């Protein structure tokens, strides 16, 4: 089976298997029709596409794999997960560039809210470390050129940042309705309390300088959760380590939270993982849930030289304990896509 899957799909199947095992959710004929999948990717099977192009150029059309098309399509991850685990509920792939993972989680929660499913597998997967992708990001001046010092290259909000470091992998979460989770005695880690999605309607790869699209998204997520800005205890930032994003996101946070912005810890875990593109939002949702569970703020590493335009508390270089009840996680993507999730600790008695 693995030979008939692009690496992004392989990552997705493994991540979902681990998530299902950790959740204790058993799939059988009685529930498989009520368990769905929303699993996204930013780029899809680019490695498979390149191999096909090479075979065509070097040996001719008959040497192109008959599995090329189904392996490269962005929806293959969601489809293969459904096949592998026998999930017959709602199924789709989200493709919103680097907002994909967060949108997948948010849209999966909406599926459950409206009663279309009892449980959803949600997340993102990416395997784009290939020469053409690196070249494309490089000519956009999007990735760091600190090739002599890769461990310190990803430095969100730092004055000397010069782009992101490309990462790859997958992350998956199991979402359930409160009634479904409680009826089976699930270990509830967090609640998707709020979700919103907007667009800048401005530029394909640059954010609005004032972050207006992102600030709108955060406000809508707060309203969806029924929370005031003062109730957010931590922000997991999109924080790509690019010149444009980090200033724009800082401005957006200030627009939403006002003076309170200076009292809210903000960190970018991309400083440690690199940028997983379509998987980033799902990975960062897990970081946010772990922060809730353990009362520990993840740091922004490689933060050495403050940027006057980025003047918030970025939890520099070291994690620190904190009382965390509500986390805001931001994800933004090429095409002007914005997605914000609010993840909250579940009520102590599990009532909702």
Domain boundaries, the chain: 2-129+167-183, 191-344
Identical fold for domains 2-129+167-183 and 191-344, yes or no, is yes
- In this structure, the strands spanning 191-199 and 337-344 are antiparallel
Q: What is the per-residue pLDDT for 1?
A: 82
∠ CA 16-13-119, nearest 5°, is 35
The DSSP code sequence of 58-108 is HH-GGGS-TTHHHHHSTTHHHHHHHHHHT--S-EE----GGGHHHHHHHHH
Catalytic residue among 98, 217, 326, 337: 98
Whole-Å CA distances, 266 to 156, 194, 234, 260, 313: 11, 18, 6, 12, 6
Catalytic status, residue 203:
no
Say whether 127 sits in a helix, a strand or coil: coil
> Rounded CA gap, 283 and 244, in Å?
22
Residue 350 has pLDDT above 90, yes or no: no
Q: Tokens 């090329």 identify what position? A: 68
Q: What is the per-residue pLDDT for 352?
A: 57
Q: What is the CATH number of domain 191-344?
A: 3.40.47.10
**pLDDT band at residue 351 using 50, 70 and 90 as cut-offs:** low
> Rounded CA gap, 279 and 270, in Å?
11
Average pLDDT over residues 271-286: 99
Helix spans in the chain (H):
7-23, 46-59, 68-72, 76-85, 100-113, 131-139, 178-183, 212-225, 243-257, 270-273, 280-294
- Say which residue, 165 or 347, is predicted with more confidence: 165
Condensed to tens digits (0 to 9), the pLDDT of residues 168-226 reads 999 999 999 999 999 999 999 999 999 999 999 999 999 999 999 999 999 999 999 99
Condensed to tens digits (0 to 9), the pLDDT of residues 228-243 reads 999 999 999 999 999 9
Name the CATH topology of 2-129+167-183: Peroxisomal Thiolase; Chain A, domain 1 (3.40.47)
Catalytic status, residue 238:
yes
Give me 90's structure tokens: 């709602």
- pTM (global) more than 0.95: yes
Q: What is the per-residue pLDDT for 275?
A: 99
In angstroms, how far is the first alpha carbon of the chain from the final one?
41
Quick check: 46 and 202 in contact, CB under 8 A?
no
Catalytic residue among 180, 275, 326, 337: 275
Condensed to tens digits (0 to 9), the pLDDT of residues 332-343 reads 999 999 999 999
> Rounded CA gap, 16 and 9, in Å?
11
Residue 107 has pLDDT above 80, yes or no: yes
Round the average pLDDT of the chain to a whole number and report it: 98
Residue 69 has pLDDT above 90, yes or no: yes
Catalytic residue among 180, 238, 326, 337: 238
Catalytic status, residue 98:
yes
Strand partners, 234: 327
């Amino acid at each position: 089976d693995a030979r008939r899957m692009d690496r992004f799909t392989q990552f997705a199947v493994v991540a979902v298997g681990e998530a299902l095992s950790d959740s204790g959710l058993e799939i059988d004929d009685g529930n498989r029709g009520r368990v769905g999948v929303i699993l996204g990717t930013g780029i899809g099977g680019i490695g498979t596409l390149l191999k096909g192009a090479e075979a065509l150029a070097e040996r001719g059309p008959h040497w192109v794999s008959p599995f090329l098309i189904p392996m490269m399509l962005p929806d293959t991850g969601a489809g293969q997960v459904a096949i592998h685990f026998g999930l017959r509920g709602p199924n789709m792939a989200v493709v919103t560039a680097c907002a994909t993972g967060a949108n997948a989680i948010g849209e999966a929660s909406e599926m459950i809210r409206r009663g279309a499913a009892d449980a959803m597998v949600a997340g993102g997967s990416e395997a784009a470390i290939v020469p053409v992708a690196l070249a494309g990001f490089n000519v956009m001046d999007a990735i760091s050129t600190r090739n002599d010092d890769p461990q310190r290259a990803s430095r969100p909000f730092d004055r000397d940042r010069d782009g992101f470091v490309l990462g790859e992998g997958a992350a998956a979460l199991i979402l359930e309705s409160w009634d479904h989770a409680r009826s089976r005695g699930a270990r509830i880690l967090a609640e998707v309390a709020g979700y919103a999605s907007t667009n800048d309607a401005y530029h394909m790869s640059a954010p609005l300088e004032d972050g207006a699209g992102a600030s709108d998204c955060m406000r809508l997520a707060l309203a969806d959760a029924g929370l005031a800005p003062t109730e957010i205890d931590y922000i997991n930032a999109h924080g790509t380590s690019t010149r444009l994003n980090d200033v724009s996101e800082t401005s957006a946070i200030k627009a939403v939270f006002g003076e309170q912005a200076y009292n809210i810890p903000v960190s970018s875990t991309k400083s440690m993982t690199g940028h997983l593109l379509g998987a980033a939002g799902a990975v960062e949702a897990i970081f946010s849930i772990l922060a809730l569970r353990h009362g520990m703020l993840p740091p922004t590493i490689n933060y050495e030289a403050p940027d006057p335009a980025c003047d918030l508390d970025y939890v520099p270089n070291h994690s620190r304990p904190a009382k965390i009840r509500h986390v805001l996680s931001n994800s933004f993507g090429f095409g002007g896509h914005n997605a914000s999730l609010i993840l909250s600790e579940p009520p102590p008695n599990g009532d909702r």
